[in-house]
Amino acid sequence: MFTTRLISGIVLVILAFFVVGAGGNLLFAVTALISLVGLFELYRVLKIEKTSLAAIGYGAAIYYYILLWMGWEKYVTLMAIGALMLLMAVYVFTFPKYKTEQITAAFFGVFYVAMMLSYLYQVRRMPDGKYLVWLIFLSSWGCDTCAYCVGMLIGKHKLAPVVSPKKSVEGAIGGVAGSAILGLVYAAALGGNMAEVGNPMLACALACAIAAVISQVGDLAASAIKRNHDVKDYGHLIPGHGGILDRFDSMIFTAPAIYFAITFLR
């Protein structure tokens, strides 16, 4: 199991370097595809993946990415209202086939997976995006690694014992501190190339620290959803890691966090 997980992790890192480094059309297409697969995984856990509600959710996600591609982000609110109207129409005209919770879940999934993950692409296309985009990975995967190491060494106080019994407060603090240090080191090495960021070392360190806090919320949120529905993994697409949402659960939160942190800190 460890060997499988290690090999899969190495392959993921190599693919990330290639796809994110290339950016542009390739990153957009991969992000959209990952979003749709992740949305399917979420809907499957919620047991609506083959319903008309899910079809509306998939359609809304695709429409959102079309708007993003065309630069028509000002119509996203219209898309959201339209999707909600369609979901409510299905709810009313098929009543009592679907529960209120299912309508809510279908609408929630579009924002939770498709929209939030799209910020991976949006950070990449920012000024200096080819450097800033890696802060998403540093604050996500870096936080996971640092939190695990610190938690194993000195972790005593449980962070969220019901949702994730192994996570500790000490580990969480270590994850945030470790991410900030990684951001600082990263900016020290490459900050000179960031023409649009006034103080790269401060901005990257703070952005990674902020994103690391939010990253852990994202990780716990994904775990809470699985516990609510008595599933171990969202899927089996990535050997040793589970599904897309099992691997990208924290990144769903760190991508928009880095985008807005850099926007205000630059």
Query: Quick one: tokens of 20?
Result: 């994110």
pLDDT tens sequence for the chain (266 residues)? 557 766 777 888 899 889 999 999 999 999 999 999 999 999 999 999 999 999 999 999 999 999 999 999 999 999 999 999 999 999 999 999 999 999 999 999 999 999 999 999 999 999 999 999 999 999 998 898 899 899 998 988 899 888 888 899 999 999 999 999 999 999 999 988 998 888 999 999 999 999 999 999 988 998 899 889 888 888 777 776 678 898 888 899 999 999 999 998 87
User: Which residues, other chains included, contact 164 with Cβ-Cβ below 8 Å and sequence gap of 6+?
Assistant: 219, 220, 223
pLDDT, residue 7, reads 79
CA distance 78 to 105: 19
User: Crossing angle of helices 2-22/134-154, nearest 10°?
Assistant: 150
Residues 216/250, Cβ–Cβ less than 8 Å: yes
Strands (E), 12-124: none
pLDDT, residue 186, reads 95
Q: ∠ CA 45-47-53 to the nearest 5 degrees?
A: 120
pLDDT, residue 246, reads 86
Q: Three-class SS of residue 238?
A: strand
- Taking the domains of the chain in order of start, what are their residue ranges? 2-265
CA distance 266 to 259: 11
- The pTM of the full predicted model, rounded to 2 decimals, is 0.92
